[in-house]
Amino acid sequence: MKEDVTKIVSVGQIDIGVPSERPQPDFSDLPIIAMRDLVLFPGVTFPITLGREASVKTAVAAADRHIPVGVFCQKEASVEHPSLSDLYDVGVVADVLKTFDLPDGTHTAILSAREKIKLVGPSVGNVIPGALSAEVKSARDTMSRPSDKEFIALVDDIRQTTLNILHSGNDKMSDLAFNIENIPGPQLLINIICTHSPFPPEVKVELLRKSRMKERAQLLLSHLAHSEEMAEIRAEVHRKARRNIDEQQRNAFLQHQFDVLREELYGDDDDCRVIEEKAKDIPFPEDVRRLFDKELEKLRRLNPQSPDYSVQYSYLQLLIDLPWGKFSELDADFPSAERVLDEDHYGLEKVKERILEQLAVMMNTPEGRSPIICLVGAPGVGKTSLGQSIAKALGRKYQRVSLGGLHDEAEIRGHRRTYIGAMPGRIIDAIKRAGTSNPVLLLDEIDKTGSDFKGDPSSALLEVLDPEQNNRFHDNYVDVDYDLSHVLFIATANTLSTIPRPLLDRMEIIDISGYLPEEKIEIARRHLIPRLAADNGFAEGEIRFSDEALAKIIESYTSESGVRMLEKEIAKVIRKIVLNKMRGKDFKLNVEADDLRDYLGVETFTPERYEVSDTPGVATGLAWTAVGGEILFIESSFTQGKGEKLTITGNLGDVMKESAVIATQVVKARAENYGIEPESFENRQLHIHVPEGAIPKDGPSAGITMCVSILSALTGRPVRSRLAMTGEITLRGKVLPVGGIKEKILAAKRAGITDIILCADNRKNIEDIKPVYLSGLTFHYVTTIDEVFDFALGGK
């Protein structure tokens, strides 16, 4: 609107030579000048720019011949050659006072509007050849009475509102405001403001259509009020923007001064610049990016010589080092994964099958959640190396987190940075070392965490190992959430008894029971001997161990489920060979069983062998231990006497003592079936003993063995030769299944047992064992103790 008003003043200062008597227009044949976006009102003088050639010719001819023209606005400004149908139906009759040819090649004409007209239709003649012409009719405006106070008030409001808009726009508009204040007559004031106001053409046409000046004034005031409100809003926005710019300039100036002073005091700020440069390409989450920028500003304000500077720098360096958005590509070659597990681990068929199931699911659905796997087994069975093989098979980075002996919850969640020497927890540290957000993390010895006044690490692990929570794991040192949902966690433990139940529920347990002697021999040949020989400087295949030598080391020098002690003993043999070689003595590279005493000394362990005995009261049972299976002798004897009726010795646990009491009652209930008078128990004392009293023993699996031992002692019948048994007994004489069958069967075979009595429900456990390990053994499945007595003692 400011630009348009400027034109008003300019026109007012030009001597345009308006004739005192204007020629009357011919309404039947009036030349037309079509305007793209200008709506001219009666009584207004206005300069226009002529762009179309037809408009230039019409304006020049009209000015030269003093012919009035009709000025109409186009409905669509984009129409280049408008016809009458492209024009609004209302316009004005105007005189072309003067035309100008400007230096830039454009043409300008000054028009002076007379009265309002309406289009009727095409004209019959053509007063200016080649010009657009039309037949029109007069549509004069109706003036309000000078005594109409409402109209006078409307005009005053229009004048004031217009002045307000001018003053709010620019302080230099005082001259324009002066001209507005001095326009004579309310009609001219209204029409000038209508012409120059920045309203759309359709709004101005609507104003022009109002023939009564009072109605036009009311509509104009409504539009001006809206424009005034918008002008105030724009002015307020402008003021706020200006304040913000001034504040930003002030802050920028102060920051520049601070940077100059800092550089003078402490030298060039390389640390901040290097960190900021590194962080540019890191895909931080939005909240982490905000925190990083905030902490970087803190670092800039710190004195490099202050202790807080190194703490802040270390924190920012950790944020940069964490693998935000970095992932290892999944190796989806399943045959290769299967080959890796077979090459790295011999035996453990069921364990490898379960792991392969999980690897297959992960390769089939890479975006799915990975379960938390817990490998449980005795030391040395290969739990840790299984974790490494899984990472290798998946093509992921591998990191081990040792949890053994942890008592401080901060070791998992990290320390808060307010403490001196604070550092992130072991989980975040392992992620940083791995360099990817989807590594394989082995949580080693998860069963050996403790708790004290510093907290309970196993409780902190609940969040780490819960797929519903670990996508927002919060480390106290990092102080922002980190997504652990892509990490494959593998925990290892020797026992489940010390793991809290809530933590146990979050893991899928895979039991690694241990290796058979035959499997240990094969593991030694494939893995242990080649690696140890290379470590001691021998070529591949240069040192050989016979099967008998390896079997003797396993039986006489080790006692374990795994192969850790076996590895140590083989290493000891190889070191002895190296020692003899360096001393210049004779040395053998082919190790036989007879050579072991020279290398390893006397046998450390004496294998349990079955003792052939005709003594009644002695029965052979089978036991499970953490290092494998063993045979167990149970001895019973009766003596004349009164007092305590049952004595139990042999360092037995509560469960085993209860089994002895139950066994005694079962035999008493069946005494008459075997020719034993019930009164014979009254004056006799029963003593049950389990040899090797220094070794604690417990469990219910010796129940049927105790029954057989007691009945054998009562009847004087010896137990069948080379027979062993295992099973729990009830007061009703029912035989229940027990665990550890695989280890117990192998122990029986090593001891020379040929017949084994088992509960019928344990048949499925025998079917899972490879036939090669069952050769030479005969199994007898029972459901009641009477069946056991019939086979072990020859019936009633």
Q: How far is CA 57 from the centre of its chain?
A: 75
Strands (E), 123-180: 133-138
Cα(3)–Cα(196) distance, integer angstroms: 9
Within 8 A by CB and 6+ apart from 168, the residues are: 228, 231, 232, 235
Q: Is 744 a catalytic residue?
A: yes
- Short-list 183, 114, 115, CA closest to 155: 183
C-alpha 615/C-alpha 228 separation (Å) is 120
Per the CB < 8 A criterion, the answer to whether 615 and 623 are in contact is: no
Cβ of 374: how many Cβ atoms within 10 Å? 25
Please tell me the distance from the alpha carbon of residue 695 to that of residue 698, in angstroms, as a whole number. Answer: 10
- Which residues are CB-neighbours of 68 under 8 A, at least 6 positions away? 22, 23, 24, 25, 30, 62, 93, 94, 95, 114
Active-site residue, from 556, 637, 701, 709: 701
Residue 302, class by beta-carbon neighbours within 10 Å (0-12 exposed, 13-18 middle, 19+ buried)? middle
Q: For tokens 């793209």, name the residue.
A: 36
95-100 contacts at long range (C-beta below 8 A, 24 or more positions apart): 95/18, 95/19, 95/22, 95/62, 95/66, 95/68, 95/69, 96/59, 96/62, 96/63, 96/69, 97/16, 97/17, 97/18, 97/45, 97/63, 98/16, 98/17, 98/63, 99/50, 99/59, 99/60, 99/63
Q: Partners of 508 in the beta sheet?
A: 373
Cα–Cα distance measured from residue 203 to residue 39, given in angstroms and rounded to the nearest whole number: 10
- Rounded CA-CA distance 595/601 in Å is 10
Q: Which residue carries 């105007």 as its tokens?
A: 94
Report CA-CA distances (Å) from 147 to 114, 151, 189, 210, 657. 25, 9, 18, 21, 124
* Catalytic hit among 116, 383, 697, 744: 744
Are 661 and 700 a contacting pair, CB within 8 Å? no
The β-bridge partners of 73 are 35
> Burial level of 504, CB count in 10 A (0-12/13-18/19+)?
middle
- Other Cβ atoms less than 10 A from the Cβ of 617: the count is 26
Q: Is 437 a catalytic residue?
A: no
Beta bridge partners of 33: 71
Residue 125 structure tokens: 């003649």
The DSSP string of 349-416 is HHHHHHHHHHHHHHHH-TTSPPPEEEEEE-TTSSHHHHHHHHHHHHT--EEEEE-TT---THHHH---
Query: C-alpha distances in angstroms, 429 versus 288, 322, 423, 435?
Result: 18, 9, 9, 10
Q: Directed axis angle between helix 149-169 and helix 2-12, to 10°? A: 110
Active-site residue list: 701, 744
